[in-house]
Amino acid sequence: MSISLKSKFIGSILGTAIGDALGMPVEGWSPSKIEEVFGEVREMMTGFLPEGSYTDDTEMAIGIAETIIEKGRVDPDHLIKVFMHNYDPRRGYGISTTMVFRLIEKGIPWDEASKSIFNGKGSYGNGAAMRIAPVAVFYYDDFEELKRAVYDASRVTHMHPLGIEGALIQATAIALAVRKDPRKRLDVEDFVDNLLLVCESDVFREKVKKIGRMLAEGINDKYVVVKELGNGYESFTSVPSAIYSFLLHWSSFEDAVVYAVSLGGDADTIGAMTGAISGAYHGVEAIPQRWLEKLENYEYLKSLGEKLWELKTKSK
Ligand SMILES: [Mg+2]
């Protein structure tokens, strides 16, 4: 393989942060407003944070990477402490994660806190999927371990089955991307079939099937993609769009992430998720240097990818 496993690990972590930072200035915008104001978002810009800054998505992915590096696995008791230690409210955290943190601060155990929100059903927001890259690369070669680790990394804040399922589908997409050789043409139909195997609910199964149909029809109109797959804050209205952005532009990291951000809505998270898959597929070399130069905490993020790779290759 021309692209090393190490490059793919680093590419997925940095890809998360790059997509997050690129989408940050247009989070909550409609695709038409993005088009009117910028045409497209191809450069880092200032938004609610300075140019090149990442948001909660990457801050939480950092927490997961730190836990795996320290504990050798996803230890949920450790992870929730790291999440709360790293928590910087300026980074635009989602409502459900903030609610869970507040309850834990009041002395409620994390599993009760996570379960108690939204009428005792837990959150099905995309917060578990957006941060999953470190888990996905670390367990890319073992689906059963991956599934267990995704569950532990998700349920500390997102207890709803759809929140966890979204994270599992996103993680599976990243793991598949790690395993593919980017020099060969990507079989997108086969990729979608593999994702269908991990779907548990009708909600996700229908969305993933729709991805396959839309790709076969060659649909690249972003308004159609938003209408059919969504650009929202729920796991099932953002994970499918992120995967679609990657599969539509599988041959270019830059084009995939620019497309994901152009969908608007939860643009930083959709950008982060597409960046995680595309970075895992191509490796870090495919990420434009002009973006990496502007990225906050670039060296630290890169070191997390390196350490995950070292730990992975050492444990074999
Ligand atoms: Mg965010």
Full pLDDT tens readout for the chain, 316 residues = 468 999 999 999 999 999 999 999 999 999 999 999 999 999 999 999 999 999 999 999 999 999 999 999 999 999 999 999 999 999 999 988 999 999 999 999 999 999 999 989 999 999 999 999 999 999 999 999 999 999 999 999 999 999 999 999 999 999 999 999 999 999 999 999 999 999 999 999 999 999 999 999 999 999 999 999 999 999 999 999 999 999 999 999 999 999 999 999 999 999 999 999 999 999 999 999 999 999 999 999 999 999 999 999 986 5
Q: How much distance in Å is there from the Cα of 265 to the middle of ligand 1?
A: 11
Ligand 1 center–CA 276 separation, angstroms: 14
- CB 124 within 8 Å of CB 235: yes
Q: Is 118 exposed, middle or buried (0-12, 13-18, 19+ CB in 10 A)?
A: middle
94 CA distance to ligand 1 middle (Å): 7
Q: How far away, in angstroms, is 9 Cα from ligand 1 center?
A: 21
Using the structure block, give the residue that is written with the tokens 């504990």.
71
Task: State in Å: Cα 115 to ligand 1 middle.
Answer: 22
CA of 271 to the centre of ligand 1 (A): 10
Q: How far is the CA of 53 from the centre of ligand 1 (A)?
A: 11
CATH homologous superfamily for the domain 5-41+53-314: ADP-ribosylation/Crystallin J1 (1.10.4080.10)
CA 56 to ligand 1 center in whole angstroms: 5
pTM confidence score: 0.98
CB 156 within 8 A of CB 84: no
Q: What residues have CB less than 8 Å from 59, skipping those under 6 apart?
A: 86, 87, 88, 91
Provide the residue ranges of all domains of the chain, joining segments of one domain with +.
5-41+53-314
Q: How far is the CA of 177 from the centre of ligand 1 (A)?
A: 23
Compute, in angstroms, the gap from residue 1 CA to the centroid of ligand 1.
33
- Using an 8 Å Cβ cutoff, are 195 and 173 in contact? yes
SS percent in the chain: helix, strand, coil, step 5: 70, 0, 30
Q: Is 236 exposed, middle or buried (0-12, 13-18, 19+ CB in 10 A)?
A: buried
- Taking the CA of residue 91 as centre, how many other CA atoms within 13 Å lie in the half-sphere pointing to its CB? 22
